Structure 1
Amino acid sequence: MSTTQPLRTLLCFNNHPTFFSLPFDQIGPVWTATQALMAGIARLEGVSIMGTFDDDQTFVGASQGFPYTWYILADFPNRETVQAACNLLRTIVVGEGNDRLWKYMTVEARMGRALEIPQL
């Protein structure tokens, strides 16, 4: 009997120019929504977050693709759970308005498998 291996997934998030054009005093609600996104991903059943990465100290401003703004590396139980994580951008409300988080960022999920590092 074989066991199902988790999907090692790199969630790549890219902040849109709509985020970077916000007045400084309006960034807080987006950050609060981003924290809700991270917590929501961590709460999905069967998800194990391996780590996060934000390169905002050496890459400042919006990019149109790679390199992305920030990342989450996690093991997911299946593709449907990865889709549920990505869908959170459509459902999380930013602040008191009617904007969703996807107005301010995109996500791309790269799914694969963990590589074993050989003993050399």
Structure 2
Amino acid sequence: MEKLDTHRVLFCIGINQNFMDAPAAEMKDVWQAFSQMMQNVDELPGVTILGIMDDDRLQVGAAAAAPWMAYIMADVPDIETVIAACNFFRTIPVGDGTYKLWKYCKVEARIGRKLVVPE
């Protein structure tokens, strides 16, 4: 079996009902925290974000399971970095910091490898 130098990771992000129930000002704070999370993932050493997709046009409401609401596909150097990316949901404050991002959304990481189309 070949040794992988990176992992292809799909971060699947679901929006919780807490976000849907929040007033507009709180939703804005969540969006700012969400933006911070995406920037933090992008700044992790060795991470290359390949694409980000938002499924908000064809899915409305909370996403408790697949299909998720948003996806980040990235090449990540190791499992510890995947864990660090997921941990941003636990640590990034929303608004005044009473709550963290994971009150409003969740993440599940799917780890695989790059699939090359045969010639």
TM-score (norm 1): 0.94
Gap regions ≥5 residues in structure 1? none
**Alpha carbons 2:90, 2:102 under 8 Å: kept:** yes
Q: 1:53-111: CA deviations, max 9, x gaps? A: 01101111112200001000000000000000000111100011410000001100000
Aligned counterparts of 1:95 and 1:63: Cα–Cα separation in 2: 22
| Aligned twin of 1:80 | 80
- Cα deviation for residue 29 of structure 1 reads 0.4
| Aligned twin of 2:44 | 44
| Aligned twin of 1:98 | 98
Aligned counterparts of 1:77 and 1:23: Cα–Cα separation in 2: 39
Counterpart AA for 2:111? M
Structure 2 residue matching 1:42: 3-state secondary structure: helix
- Cα deviation for residue 4 of structure 1 reads 4.0
Asked whether 1:110 is paired with 2:99, we answer no
TM-score (norm 2): 0.94
Structure 2 residue matching 1:27: 3-state secondary structure: helix
Aligned counterparts of 2:25 and 2:93: Cα–Cα separation in 1: 18
Gap regions ≥5 residues in structure 2? none
**Alpha carbons 2:26, 2:95 under 8 Å: kept:** no
Alignment length (residue pairs): 118
Counterpart AA for 2:45? E
**Alpha carbons 2:33, 2:94 under 8 Å: kept:** yes
Matched residues, percent identical? 43
**Alpha carbons 2:13, 2:108 under 8 Å: kept:** yes
Asked whether 1:9 is paired with 2:5, we answer no
RMSD: 1.2
Asked whether 1:69 is paired with 2:78, we answer no
4+ aligned runs moved over 3 Å, structure 1: none
Aligned counterparts of 2:88 and 2:62: Cα–Cα separation in 1: 21
- Cα deviation for residue 23 of structure 1 reads 1.4
